[in-house]
Chains A and B, each alone.
Chain A
């Protein structure tokens, strides 16, 4: 496909990032070598080149981190709440100052386009720290005359799709409410968390209040099962979430889970079609579809199906797939080989089941993990591609005829994280929202986040909320 006017490369320089050859854990205010004596590689998913080596968190490492957090909690508990505010405001400021560096590192480590890291991830990260800083000194206001206290040591496990943003969603409210933290970032994306630990030192956050142990699922399970952890917050797959829930049974530990999704994006015939197409594309292709609340099922009213699909395919063809550090890239790399295999397998199953696919015509780089934006039509609710979370840039289409049918199809899933509704009729939007079993509903928009807006799922998408005054309850328990 020869373009009349092709965009030249506009690469964001990675010079601003200074990578160490290897990293330790961050425990009790400083970086320490792993007691496990093991390191593992972290690579750039867009080039497969080695970025650095990261410490493996074994049982002893987790143990040390939790002990440090226990001591840190004692210190954190004693200081005035307004002092907690000040520390968090300071951290927010420092993040803003080094935003560009963080954004480039996030893009290199995780594969997401620099434009998204710069324009979406980083501003939201700073906003979360600012927002929760302002709750620390007024928790008594948040739920009327309820009396609260923090849990103590919060063990937090976060995924690889929005590494620094998921860190902010977890760490900011936990610290604001007076808890101390042991964070375990995803195996493939530890680097921005490590840089965040540097920020904590710069802000002179008291030692032990924030601790970081890197590693894999094994490391996570040591954290989950540690007797001195008082609360676990997990964002990740539903499979692992269920395991964690089972492990915690009878322990009295606090738990919040933010798991998978298979969100329905409902497009009624009276939607503003061009904006709906844009919203549907944003809903599934933003961040390569590595989004738990992605609108991965397009539910389109049959009367506009053909017109909508034609516009959607045209729009998908404009998506630019390639080097995440190119400022014009829309779709970056798939986060890992493992994830790529999973997506590929599911898409193949969809084709074998009889589905038709349309894919963006584009050249994929020779190295790295890549998948073309994909649209399925002629698929049935029973097919795996319609039921299972793919977590990639793959959209499946189902038609409906009436609003009741739309609601029924949308709710026909064990997930319940989010949903989208597209219609210019306000009463129908509200009627539909009332009936959808989803924790976050976007009408005539999608993938909108704000620290003040509670986020979380129904059913097997998890429980508990992050953000807003509802999100505080994830980290506070009643003081009886």
Chain B
């Protein structure tokens, strides 16, 4: 955590040149990841997935099915690792926690009036406490975009600090909702505020608006995290969510992280994919590499 005056100083060096950023991201997308390095990447991606369901129609039964898939993504291939976590609404934390009990899969819960965050702080605290009391290992909150876009950055900072205090040892991921912030400068600014206020992870998106994660947004957040580590010694993790459809794209994120900020972040402790349909495509790619043939989705269990 940093003091507010340190934060204001950091916020003054948040300018980003959009054209230069896009060029760098495009250039990294030309990396050709094949053979062993591809298989290694695909396995890493699986281990970095937060298998997610955040729907009005989620039920205990749906969660149990998803957890089974999270623990054993490809029952026919035990060399494929478990995912990192499952991500659910607070009301489903209890059933998720029971289901993961024989594994290393963590349970993450959204809170703070996800996805809009349009509620008083007291409600957000209540939401968070409820999820933690039900056993959540990680909490994914949203920043107060209303305050952010009104220019009340201190309010954004204070809210996150309070929620981190509520979390205690429980990992706090702070969702910036990059699709709503308007420019890359703002994404960097939001990253700085979120990290300085004590977040353990910064996350791109809720997945609930049409504009989700992008490699450009991830790059800015990553650079901010790298500079933050230099300043404070703490590693803040990065989570990308919303719109990562296939394995090819996910591999590009790994390339970006590796080359822009380094391999320390290539670990489920510090990098996550918020995924639902992504996992199946990764499993298909793994199978293809191992057997030489593409699989249909019905070979892999529903989750």
B-binding residues in A (CB < 8 A): 3-10, 115, 119, 270, 272-276, 278-279, 318, 327-328, 424, 444-445
Contacts and interface: CB of A to CB of B under 8 A. Distances in A.
Interface in B204-221: none
A257 B35 CA distance: 48
Contact of A318 (B19, B20, B40, B259): B259
B229 interface: no
Given A273-B13, A318-B259, A328-B31, A7 B21 contact: no
Given A4-B263, A5-B40, A5-B263, A275 B24 contact: yes
B20 A115 contact: no
B1 interface: no
Nearest to A10: B32
A445 B20 CA distance: 7
A278 B24 contact: yes
Contact of B16 (A5, A8, A275): A275
B263 A10 contact: no
Given A5-B41, A5-B266, A7-B37, A327 B32 contact: yes
A424 B30 CA distance: 28
Output the residue of B21, B32, B33, B36 with the most chain A CB within 10 A: B32
Given A5-B37, A7-B31, A8-B37, A275 B266 contact: no
B34 A5 contact: no
B30 A6 contact: no
The binding surface of chain A is classed by DSSP as: loop
Contacts of B269: none
29 contacts: A4-B263, A4-B266, A5-B263, A5-B266, A7-B31, A7-B32, A8-B33, A8-B35, A8-B36, A9-B34, A10-B34, A272-B15, A272-B16, A273-B13, A274-B223, A275-B16, A275-B21, A275-B24, A276-B20, A278-B20, A278-B23, A278-B24, A327-B31, A328-B31, A328-B32, A444-B17, A444-B19, A444-B20, A445-B20
Contact of B34 (A8, A119, A272): A8
Given A9-B34, A272-B15, 18 more contacts: A4-B263, A5-B40, A5-B41, A5-B258, A6-B37, A7-B32, A7-B37, A8-B33, A8-B38, A272-B16, A275-B17, A275-B20, A278-B23, A327-B30, A328-B31, A424-B15, A444-B17, A444-B19
B38 A3 contact: no
Nearest to A281: B24
Nearest to B230: A310
A338 to B, nearest CB: 31
Contacts of B263: 3-5
B132 interface: no
Contacts of A9: 34-35
Interface of B: 13, 15-17, 19-21, 23-24, 30-38, 40-41, 44, 223, 254, 258-259, 263, 266
A115 B15 CA distance: 30
Contacts of A119: 30
A276 B266 CA distance: 25
B154 to A, nearest CB: 24
A11 to B, nearest CB: 9
Contacts of B35: 8-9
A274 B266 CA distance: 21
B170 to A, nearest CB: 27
Contacts of A278: 20, 23-24
A381 to B, nearest CB: 28
Contacts of A445: 19-20, 23
A-B complex: 7 closest residue pairs judged by Cβ atoms = A275-B20, A10-B32, A327-B32, A275-B17, A8-B37, A8-B35, A272-B17
Contacts of A270: 15
A68 to B, nearest CB: 42
Contacts of B33: 7-8, 10
Contacts of A5: 37, 40-41, 44, 254, 258, 263, 266
Contacts of B21: 274-275
Nearest to B14: A272
A241 B249 CA distance: 49
Contacts of B31: 7, 327-328
B268 to A, nearest CB: 13
A371 B21 CA distance: 28
Nearest to B224: A274
Contacts of B37: 5-8
Contacts of A328: 31-32
A275 B21 CA distance: 6
Contacts of A8: 33-38
A318 B24 CA distance: 13
Given A5-B40, A5-B44, A274 B30 contact: no
A273 B13 CA distance: 9
Contacts of B34: 8-10
Nearest to A318: B259
B255 to A, nearest CB: 8
Contacts of B30: 115, 119, 327
B261 to A, nearest CB: 9
Nearest to A304: B13
Nearest to B38: A8
A85 B23 CA distance: 33
Nearest to B26: A119
Contacts of B40: 5
A45 to B, nearest CB: 22
Nearest to A119: B30
B15 to A, nearest CB: 5
Contacts of A272: 15-17, 20
A307 to B, nearest CB: 9
B228 to A, nearest CB: 13
A270 to B, nearest CB: 8
Nearest to B28: A318
Nearest to B257: A5
Contact of A279 (B20, B36, B44, B266): B20
A437 to B, nearest CB: 25
Contacts of A424: 15, 17
A270 B13 CA distance: 8
A9 B254 CA distance: 17
A7 B33 CA distance: 6
Output the residue of B23, B41, B266 with the most chain A CB within 10 A: B23
A273 B16 CA distance: 8
Output the residue of A5, A119, A270, A424 with the most chain B CB within 10 A: A5
A328 B30 CA distance: 8
A272 B24 CA distance: 14
Contacts of B38: 8
B10 to A, nearest CB: 13
Contacts of A276: 20
Contacts of A327: 30-32
A115 B27 CA distance: 10
Contacts of B36: 8
A274 B258 CA distance: 16
Nearest to B33: A7
Contacts of B266: 4-5
Contacts of A274: 16, 21, 223
